[in-house]
Amino acid sequence: MSESNIKQLLLETTIASLETMAFFCCEPATDDALSPEDAISAEMTFNGPQSGTVQIVASRFFGQRLASNALCCGVTDPDALERAEDSIRELVNVVVGALMSRIATQKSDVFALTLPSGRPFDSNAEWDDFAKDQNVCLIDAEGETVGLRFKTV
C-alpha cells in the first residue's frame, strides 16, 4: 500500500476513533490551521507485512478534553488533567490498531508493536516543519488542531 493511501486511511481511522472514543466531531483541517499550544507528540511503530510509525501531535488541552469526554468529567477535573498525555498516547494506540486491521491483507498477517510513547512537542520550533511534511494531515476536532503523520520505517 502506498504512503498516500496509508495517509488517507490514517485520517479516516483517526476521525472514526475520536468519534467512538470521545464523541468528537472531526473534519480534515486546512494546512494553515493554528498550531496546537502546549503540545504533546505521541507515536507508535508497527512492524509486519507493512511497517511504519504513526505520530499524533495535539495540545495538552485536547488531551484533557479527550479524557474528560471519555470519563464523563469536567475538562479541568483532576482526572482529566492528570490523563492528558495518557489519553493522547492511548489515541495513537487505538489508531494504530485500526490502521493495522485496514492494512492487513492476509488472515495470517502478524504485526509487532512498540509501546506508545509521548513527549512534549515544541509548537514554535517543530510545528512549521511538521505541518509542511507531505506525510502529515491535519484534523479539526471541534476547534482543536490535531496533526497526524505516517512514516514508513
Q: Which residues bind another protein (CB under 8 A)?
A: 17, 20-21, 66-67, 70-72, 79, 82-83, 86-87, 89-90, 93-94, 96-98, 100-101, 104, 107-111, 113, 115
DSSP state letters, 46-88: EESSS-EEEEEEEEHHHHHHHHHHHHTS-TTSHHHHTTHHHHH
118, three cell numbers: 509521548
Backbone angles phi, psi at 123, to 5 degrees: -60, -35
Q: Which is nearer to another protein, 107 or 132 (CB)?
A: 107
Amino acid at 73: C
Q: Which is nearer to another protein, 25 or 122 (CB)?
A: 25
Of 24, 41, 29, 50, which Cα lies nearest the Cα of 92?
41
CA-based Rg of the chain, rounded to a whole angstrom?
Answer: 15
Give me the least distance between CB of 25 and another protein, in Å please.
Answer: 15
Q: Which is nearer to another protein, 94 or 131 (CB)?
A: 94
Give me the least distance between CB of 56 and another protein, in Å please.
Answer: 13
Give me the least distance between CB of 54 and another protein, in Å please.
Answer: 11
Give me the least distance between CB of 153 and another protein, in Å please.
Answer: 17
Q: Which is nearer to another protein, 33 or 70 (CB)?
A: 70
Task: Name the DSSP class of 134.
Answer: T
Pairwise CA distance, residues 23 & 3, whole Å: 28
Q: Which is nearer to another protein, 39 or 100 (CB)?
A: 100
Give me the least distance between CB of 123 and another protein, in Å please.
Answer: 23
